[in-house]
Structure 1
């Protein structure tokens, strides 16, 4: 019996994907629920698993081609012989033992296995990072299925210094051979330009940002926050907080709670336009912008008003890790009502964030910098942060936007109010 492999439902508003990599070749055995291929959408990368055990009979769509939901990707022929990949391995291992062979014929075997050992199976998203950062894939430990290198493995290697640049590693061996050819020269000119096809995620980001500019009446209002009280509170309780909750007390929980309180007071900032209607949301799903090597993604922390400080920190931490590892689900990227983006982690002093449609507003955090401030007639050095609120003027009036940002400022400068729900 033949079983069809089709593109699954990809999520709300997602109708197309790109075939990233086939994990199996035609004729190979597959087990039930074993990953067959990888699909890249404009939001996430996901695996398509075998619904039945058998043998991969046909690949209809090659790597790199675009497909729509429901499209035929390939076919599996059901059969007991393909029910377990291990059976094929055992069969291959048994053949040498069953057929006596002279020692001379056995010699090529080590060379073959040695060559195979040098091959590293890398998933497409991981390969892109490896190429961009000039890493040596053989020095990265793969944690994916069958030792495949995932995007998360590459990111971890970059953070921990676990992978060495490919060029320096290869230099000693290559030097004696390449030395005579060095005068030929023009190779240095080849790297002056590089043309790379935009990823589906990058194309989606570009389209959404342009849509926001073309559709919304965007305006940005600014304010600044004295972060001294929050820094003092965090310093006083961070060790106790970590010991009790198992997570660090960061800034994002304070900003999330401050924004939720301000949204509850100014409902228009938590609204959106749907045709000729204004839709006011009585729930608070906070989009937390995360920069990854593939581009900006905005996972959603749901019902933030019902979460404690510790739950907010844990939730944001988990979403951020998934985003960097490329493991976010479609559901985790949908349903946000307001977004917070932190350019300060990259050193930005001030910027004007762009809306995340269909949301009506986005808050931009920035770098904390000591500046001289006049306080009660005296000049004092204070740790200050600029805040920027970009909003859709079609929904939110200037008074509402300014009031919202002032409420956020007041809550952050007196964080006890957040803890006491005042």
Structure 2
């Protein structure tokens, strides 16, 4: 029986996708839930698996093709088996002579089918380092090899000396060009943007052109949070099954409390209407090799500090493995981003429409501060709040940022909701 394999239903925020990699070809046997093709959208890489056991009889979209939601990708013949390779003429004649014919070598396509599945990032590393996928232990679903598996294999495998190629016989008539120092050639390389990078560029441009974005700054004393973290770090990790206590959890919880006090910052503009959200879905910016993604913590105001830290760690891991789903990154009422992990001392975060506010964290740096008439060296962090001035007044934005500052400088107020 023939089954049509179609692309997943894309949400409204995703117009189309692009065929990234076919893991199976026409005539290949597939098992149920085995990866067949990967589709790259402007947000995530979506995997399409086989609905039943069978053979791929027809592929309707090639790699690089742009497809829409529910587009026909391939036809699967269920219950069929891959056709056996035909014997070559010399082998047939040998068989007729009475000798035992040697079995035909397995075709390359069958060898490729037996090879472990690779994710896009893992495949790039394997090709770059010329590795054998069969020698890498896959920890993903169904033995799938992830980027972390390849990096672990590289770390565990000592670098082998690359054998030098055999020298070719010298041609006496050949003209040998002798290098004359550094080359003055001005090399350029032109490559097309990935769909994700193009979408990021489009959204950033829209944010600057379609919003009245303004940024207000403040600074926060991180000593209280750092002292709390130092005191309970090990106990927190043991109690919560290895979840590490970081700074992001404090800022997410502080933002949730401040958003309750200033609902305009948690609102969005829809045409001539203002939509006030009675919940706090906090987007947390995560950097990946393909670009910046913003997975969302649903109902973050009801999450404990440990829940927030565990969710952020899980989203960061899945983002690096290209395993985030579109649902993970859809929605969000406010965003928190941390440029300090890259060493940024101060920056202006750009809004993530239709959200009207984004909080930027930065590098913690010791600075001399005046405290009660004395100069004290304190670990300080600059905070930045970018907001849409069409909806949020400067007074509200400043008060919101001050509320976040006060909660971080006295973390007990987060728990007491003071």
Q: TM-score range by the shorter chain?
A: 0.7 to 0.9
Residue number in structure 1 paired with 2:88: none
Distance 1:410 1:208, change over 3 A: same
Is 1:81 matched up with 2:76? Answer: no
Q: Is the 8 A contact 1:151 1:326 kept in 2?
A: no
The alpha-carbon deviation at position 31 of structure 1 amounts to 2.6
Please give the per-residue CA displacement for 1:254-280, whole angstroms capped at 9, x wherever unaligned. 101110111000110000000100001
1:195 alignment partner, SS class = coil
The alpha-carbon deviation at position 185 of structure 1 amounts to 5.6
Name the Cα RMSD after superposition.
3.5
Distance 1:157 1:354, change over 3 A: farther
Q: Is the 8 A contact 2:121 2:321 kept in 1?
A: no
1:137 alignment partner, SS class = coil
Distance 1:118 1:276, change over 3 A: closer
Alpha-carbon distance in 2 for matches of 1:117, 1:188: 44
Is 1:211 matched up with 2:206? Answer: yes
2:163 paired residue among 164, 173, 177: 173
Distance 1:323 1:124, change over 3 A: closer
Alpha-carbon distance in 1 for matches of 2:204, 2:99: 67
Alpha-carbon distance in 2 for matches of 1:178, 1:412: 69
The alpha-carbon deviation at position 39 of structure 1 amounts to 0.9
Residue number in structure 1 paired with 2:23: 23
Residue number in structure 2 paired with 1:11: 11
Residue number in structure 1 paired with 2:239: 244
The alpha-carbon deviation at position 304 of structure 1 amounts to 0.7
Q: Is the 8 A contact 2:32 2:50 kept in 1?
A: yes
Distance 1:66 1:126, change over 3 A: farther
The alpha-carbon deviation at position 8 of structure 1 amounts to 1.6
Residue number in structure 1 paired with 2:72: 72
Unaligned runs of 5+ in 2: 85-94
Residue number in structure 2 paired with 1:369: 365
Q: Is the 8 A contact 2:35 2:117 kept in 1?
A: no
The alpha-carbon deviation at position 358 of structure 1 amounts to 0.8
The alpha-carbon deviation at position 145 of structure 1 amounts to 6.5
Please give the per-residue CA displacement for 1:282-335, whole angstroms capped at 9, x wherever unaligned. 100010000000100000011011011111111111111111111001111012
Alpha-carbon distance in 2 for matches of 1:109, 1:384: 67
Q: Is the 8 A contact 1:353 1:388 kept in 2?
A: yes
- What TM-score results when the alignment is normalised by the length of structure 2? 0.85
Q: Is the 8 A contact 1:129 1:293 kept in 2?
A: no
Distance 1:341 1:163, change over 3 A: farther
1:137 paired residue among 131, 137, 144: 131
The alpha-carbon deviation at position 116 of structure 1 amounts to 7.9
Give the count of matched residue pairs: 399
Alpha-carbon distance in 2 for matches of 1:240, 1:329: 33
The alpha-carbon deviation at position 194 of structure 1 amounts to 2.4
Alpha-carbon distance in 1 for matches of 2:168, 2:409: 63
Q: Is the 8 A contact 2:28 2:113 kept in 1?
A: no
1:192 alignment partner, SS class = coil
2:235 alignment partner, SS class = helix
Q: Is the 8 A contact 1:338 1:360 kept in 2?
A: yes
Q: Is the 8 A contact 1:238 1:249 kept in 2?
A: yes
Richer in helix (by share)? 1
Residue number in structure 1 paired with 2:389: 393
Residue number in structure 2 paired with 1:92: none
Alpha-carbon distance in 2 for matches of 1:69, 1:180: 59
Q: Is the 8 A contact 1:269 1:396 kept in 2?
A: yes
Q: Is the 8 A contact 1:140 1:162 kept in 2?
A: no
Q: Is the 8 A contact 1:290 1:296 kept in 2?
A: yes
Alpha-carbon distance in 1 for matches of 2:100, 2:184: 51
Alpha-carbon distance in 2 for matches of 1:201, 1:410: 37
The alpha-carbon deviation at position 354 of structure 1 amounts to 0.4
Matches within 5 A, 1:232-311: 232-246=227-241, 247-311=243-307
Q: Is the 8 A contact 1:368 1:385 kept in 2?
A: yes
Distance 1:71 1:119, change over 3 A: closer
Residue number in structure 2 paired with 1:93: none
Alpha-carbon distance in 2 for matches of 1:398, 1:227: 25
Alpha-carbon distance in 2 for matches of 1:53, 1:329: 25
